Structure 1
């Protein structure tokens, strides 16, 4: 067995042990003190082996992607590859969600008591609601917001208010929106890799981005939509600094502003953006004008919400208080600080763990004077920035449980590490099997 493969398997084995430890220790804590507030630690899920209408489709998508994905990714024209990746990713997410059936898997996901569709009627007068938004964040305040609305800036619920105003009412349309938008993140990541590293690595990463186990939680989760907005902000930034496009720079800034008003945690995407700026520094030095529309675009959304009466910083401080008023103040940091990475193993798969092992090796070889493999080094820097964002989120203590959903915007940027693996199909198979097992054995929720 080649030494590199053996080390990959060691890394994957260590990840399996981490997940097993999180499950065993978590069940003990939940069984004795009941302070985790999850039924299947480290995941917010319940044991429920089942089949559904999406089962045959999910298996078919998985088999087809494993069998033909790497070859198609290698030879298709670039634009055709992006279209196919988006479409296949959408099929994978939809089919996994439909294992739970249309109502339970998609239509009811965003209509539960914690979710955005519960507050549509409260946005009848949008300006007035924005002015009063912070007054309803804390528990004990009059008509306090449900958990997910209180936990996000108002651009998140406003998205679903706008869908409702356009006639796309109800949980079904909201779920379809999130799946369709979330699947587009795949194409954004591929565009970024091609711009900053090279096309060959992007093509090798494509099947892994399509067949990500994260798709289990991207089905009808608003975090999938958040992930796509953040991913396209990064992709447009990469195109701006490498192609010197003022339009891409402005659009990137605008989307970064939107992202920060969709989720407070998406401010950590700044670490990935910083990596893009470092990798594209030559383009910035030769064409610094791209920074002007970037900064201008970035100011648009914060200015609009501030003028409407919503104070982002005040809302975030109140959210921290609200977080510790609820289960966030009870869930033990000492468990979740290492169980959250176990969740990340489950949403990114063992192939990503092996890819991250190779990412570290690429960076070590680079600094040890090994022959320069510039594209792999640049990809490794991008992936490492996403890993750093996850580490910061983990250590902050504001992500205790449910990170299989909350960390989707960052976890997607770990998947490109799989492009460094020499053999795709065995690892792709492992990714598909993991996702199918998770969705058939557990009923996930949030």
Structure 2
């Protein structure tokens, strides 16, 4: 019985797919920004204030910032990184490469944030709907968990602040921990979050190497570091979710490829605990599940699954013992969401406007990369195991998770930050672009980040 192996797409076909995907992304973004103004319909992307021009599909407003030293500095950082990072990614020994990716990512995050000066680090944490103000007032953690669900309600005197109510309690507890260890200023908390945010890229690289795709990790590293998502990642609590999920998946990949049973079990339990904790940081991180399954499929090993589930159940039991059961919160959460702006935002716009916001966040390369991934689906299913198969599995599983979130109607607006945990995995598709695309595509990513930072006041 003969086996039919699919032929990988030719260079010309790959280029056509990349151009088509890029065009779709550009058209989507243009329409999402332009149609609400052209047709004068309300998207409720944010509360309007006098003198501010909303910029749906992003949550923020138009703010053309004066070009000064900080702008010149971020351009210089971007240009230097564009010039040297691909070479460093190719030539740096592996352990040092993880440090390089962290340092480069941190430099890019800080350079972008400091376009607004020190306020670029602190302003988010000072906003009333964020976590820090609430965290400063928490004195009894068990009592907080026991009464957490009852305060998710909308508009009551004791209702949680917007972001606290919209997330499971581990998100709040992270900021409580910072306050308890003495990091209680808005600048200090913003810096702590940014330092954690930069650790996400090394987590993705560790995952790829464990899956036998080190060349892919080296090729995609510059795209992971220099994406426009860095504008939205610095100081946003969602940056913590990105890093936790990235390292949870790294532990899962190490479990699936471990050489001994003891290591496999240890890494599996750790993966379950970390990914389980992620679900208690953000309800949406339940949808990191498709990417986790793709990691196991890429490794061709399902042995970590029962142990990882066991590790996750330990986290569930721990929070439950203190009075918070995840599933009890979903009903009140949905009621609050529909009672607020979420209930007024038209799904007819946001079902595709969300995708435009994702393209802005992940960068213009996203459409081209995913189109290339789609052209390799058949070869991935029937072909030999290689690094491109890993890129296709992980990027398309992340895309599937995003589509589920989009169609749920519970992700209308604000997804440029809400979907950040899936952005690194989506951007693995950039490694599938035709080789001659890589340098110009990376330049476009850098330019997209600078333009976004320079023209839009983002509320994250």
Per the normalisation by structure 2, the TM-score is 0.91
2:319 is the alignment partner of 1:305? yes
1:418 aligned residue (430, 437, 444):
430
Q: Is the 2:211–2:257 contact (alpha carbons within 8 Å) kept by the matching residues of 1?
A: yes
Partner SS, residue 324 of structure 2: coil
1:390 aligned residue (402, 409, 419):
402
Stretch moving more, 373-382 or 320-329? 373-382
CA distance in 2, matches of 1:232, 1:216: 21
Partner SS, residue 399 of structure 1: coil
Q: Is the 1:52–1:100 contact (alpha carbons within 8 Å) kept by the matching residues of 2?
A: no
Q: Which residue of 2 aligns with 1:179?
A: 194
CA distance in 2, matches of 1:340, 1:413: 18
Partner SS, residue 443 of structure 1: strand
Residues 131 and 208 of structure 1: CA distance in aligned 2, closer, same or farther (over 3 Å): same
Partner SS, residue 108 of structure 1: helix
2:349 aligned residue (322, 335, 357):
335
2:295 is the alignment partner of 1:276? yes
Q: Which residue of 2 aligns with 1:26?
A: 36
Q: Which residue of 1 aligns with 2:8?
A: none
2:378 aligned residue (364, 373, 392):
364
Q: Which residue of 1 aligns with 2:6?
A: none
2:160 aligned residue (136, 145, 158):
145
Deviation per residue, 1:171-212 (Å, 9 max, x gap): 112111211111111111111122225111110000100101
CA distance in 1, matches of 2:43, 2:432: 41
CA distance in 1, matches of 2:35, 2:61: 17
The residue correspondences of 1:89-100 to structure 2 (distance < 5 A) are 89-100=105-116
2:81 is the alignment partner of 1:70? no
Superposed displacement of residue 2, structure 1: 4.7
Superposed displacement of residue 55, structure 1: 2.3
Q: Which residue of 2 aligns with 1:252?
A: 271
Partner SS, residue 62 of structure 1: helix
CA distance in 2, matches of 1:242, 1:249: 11
CA distance in 2, matches of 1:200, 1:255: 26
Q: Is the 2:213–2:390 contact (alpha carbons within 8 Å) kept by the matching residues of 1?
A: no
Stretch moving more, 162-171 or 193-202? 193-202
Superposed displacement of residue 297, structure 1: 2.0
CA distance in 1, matches of 2:380, 2:322: 49
The residue correspondences of 1:184-203 to structure 2 (distance < 5 A) are 184-203=199-218
Partner SS, residue 114 of structure 1: coil
Residues 197 and 397 of structure 1: CA distance in aligned 2, closer, same or farther (over 3 Å): farther
Normalized per residue, the structure richer in helix is 1
5+ residue gaps in structure 2?
1-10, 48-53
Residues 33 and 3 of structure 1: CA distance in aligned 2, closer, same or farther (over 3 Å): closer
Q: Which residue of 1 aligns with 2:57?
A: 42
CA distance in 2, matches of 1:10, 1:261: 39
Q: Which residue of 1 aligns with 2:26?
A: 16
CA distance in 2, matches of 1:372, 1:268: 28
CA distance in 2, matches of 1:166, 1:402: 31
Q: Which residue of 2 aligns with 1:135?
A: 150
Partner SS, residue 457 of structure 2: strand
The residue correspondences of 1:421-436 to structure 2 (distance < 5 A) are 421=433, 422-423=435-436, 424-436=438-450
Q: Is the 1:53–1:98 contact (alpha carbons within 8 Å) kept by the matching residues of 2?
A: no
Superposed displacement of residue 392, structure 1: 0.5
Number of positions where the alignment pairs a residue of Structure 1 with one of Structure 2: 437
Superposed displacement of residue 118, structure 1: 1.8
Superposed displacement of residue 274, structure 1: 1.2
CA distance in 2, matches of 1:252, 1:3: 39
Q: Which residue of 2 aligns with 1:82?
A: 98
Superposed displacement of residue 219, structure 1: 1.2
2:419 is the alignment partner of 1:400? no
Residues 53 and 97 of structure 1: CA distance in aligned 2, closer, same or farther (over 3 Å): farther
CA distance in 2, matches of 1:52, 1:131: 50
Residues 168 and 240 of structure 1: CA distance in aligned 2, closer, same or farther (over 3 Å): same
5+ residue gaps in structure 1?
none
Superposed displacement of residue 441, structure 1: 1.0
Superposed displacement of residue 54, structure 1: 3.6
